[in-house]
Amino acid sequence: MRWGPTLLDRYIVREMLGPLFFGIAAFTSLFVSGDLLSLANTVVELGAPIEPALRVFLLKLPQIIVWTLPMSVLLATLLALSRLSANSEIVAMRAGGTSFFRIAAPILVISLIVSIISFVVNETIVPETNAESRRILVEEVRGGTLPTVTRHVVIKGERGNDLDWMLYANRYDGRTSTFHQATLVYMANNEPVQTAFADRIVWQNDRWVMENGVAYHFSRDGNVVVATYPAHTRPVELGQTPQQVARLQKRPEEMGLAELKEHIEVLNAQGADVRSLEVQMHLKYSIPMASLVFALVGTPLGIQSHRSARSTGFGLSIIIIFLYYIVMTLGSALGQAGVLPPALAAWIQNLLLGVYGAYRFYKSAR
């Protein structure tokens, strides 16, 4: 019997969906078990309320699901194709004239769709849930405050769609509500009209004031007017209270790509070391794409006869995932140390595994 394209696609996709959802549930459970135990210990030791702890747990799920989606695609590919191989259905398909690529096509399409979904979730949902889960954990569960000292602070003020002003500070101390080594740029029509430098910007009497500052005013005719300000003589309007500033300081996992790129550009212009941030930025692309890479590797491995499809598929997936994340961890460390370029450091695991998968794919298709 010859397999029609529609029937073949539906059959293979149906075989994948069950293991895919099983993998998401299984791998997510493994990831959250440690966090859940830690939260439970915190609730017991500190007498913290249970409701905020549950919110922290739920808010962490989007990030964990993004991590587990590639693993689940690999598991689903291996389990589905291993079962078909063990039942000689792959042999029947090939004997009926169906090519290896035709069998692999629906798997690659599913993996690409999962990669796109993973990227969108990681870009739109995960930054907000990560930031909120950290805030709830620190403030509501542990009863503390967010870290008081933050390095490389960037705050922006916008007027409509235009940038009105931007503040960069080498350090912000939340205990004293003070920006250290601050640069403040005022904009008009997206062009700088004034740049001010200050040793400190301090919160006093419900307002920000510049301490030991100098400002350069740029006129339209090209002249520059320089003004100096001794301690506490020039008010500065930032539109944020100290409490709001503390909450604005985000980690890379709490930023979308556009925000993280802009943050890197500002820090780079100030001469700061941005290698770690650049690695994190490229990982936001490479981790979602792992679903497609895992499908490329898993397809030729799954299309072979196995006596025990489930145990073999699960075992192979664990080994491949383990190797993948070892290489990713080493690559990220080398990128942050400057040994590898940030882009290569974030993509090296995909490149190595992708080349191996493409080679096995080619051999199987011959």
Write the pLDDT tens digit of every residue in 6-55.
788 888 899 999 999 999 999 998 888 877 787 777 777 777 777 888 88
Which of 263-272, 317-326, 349-358 shows the lowest mean pLDDT across its residues?
A: 263-272
Inform me whether the pLDDT recorded for 353 exceeds 90.
yes
Task: Give me the helix-helix angle, 275-302 and 309-336, nearest 10°.
Answer: 160
| Rounded Cα–Cα distance for residues 258 and 219 (Å) | 31
| Rounded Cα–Cα distance for residues 311 and 79 (Å) | 9
Work out the pLDDT band at 354, boundaries 50, 70, 90: very high
pLDDT, residue 2, reads 47
| Rounded Cα–Cα distance for residues 139 and 281 (Å) | 28
pLDDT, residue 3, reads 45
Domain ranges, ordered by start, for the chain:
5-132+278-365, 147-248
pLDDT, residue 50, reads 79
Type of residue numbered 175: R
Work out the pLDDT band at 4, boundaries 50, 70, 90: very low
CATH architecture, range 147-248: Sandwich (2.60)
Question: Which pairs from 37-42 meet CB under 8 Å and 24+ separation?
Answer: 39/141, 42/141, 42/142
Which of 7-21, 231-245, 256-270, 331-345 shows the lowest mean pLDDT across its residues?
A: 231-245
C-alpha neighbours within 13 Å on the C-beta side of residue 342:
15
Inform me whether the pLDDT recorded for 88 exceeds 60.
yes
Work out the pLDDT band at 248, boundaries 50, 70, 90: low
Inform me whether the pLDDT recorded for 286 exceeds 80.
yes
CB 201 within 8 A of CB 209: yes
pTM summary value = 0.76
Work out the pLDDT band at 143, boundaries 50, 70, 90: low
CB 103 within 8 A of CB 93: yes
Question: Which pairs from 113-119 meet CB under 8 Å and 24+ separation?
Answer: 114/20, 114/69, 114/70, 114/72, 114/73, 114/291, 115/288, 115/289, 115/290, 115/291, 115/292, 116/288, 117/69, 118/66, 118/69, 118/70, 118/287, 118/288, 118/291, 119/284, 119/285, 119/288, 119/289
How many other β-carbons are positioned within 10 Å of the β-carbon of residue 35? 15
Work out the pLDDT band at 252, boundaries 50, 70, 90: confident
Question: With pLDDT > 70 as the criterion, what percentage of the chain qualifies?
Answer: 90
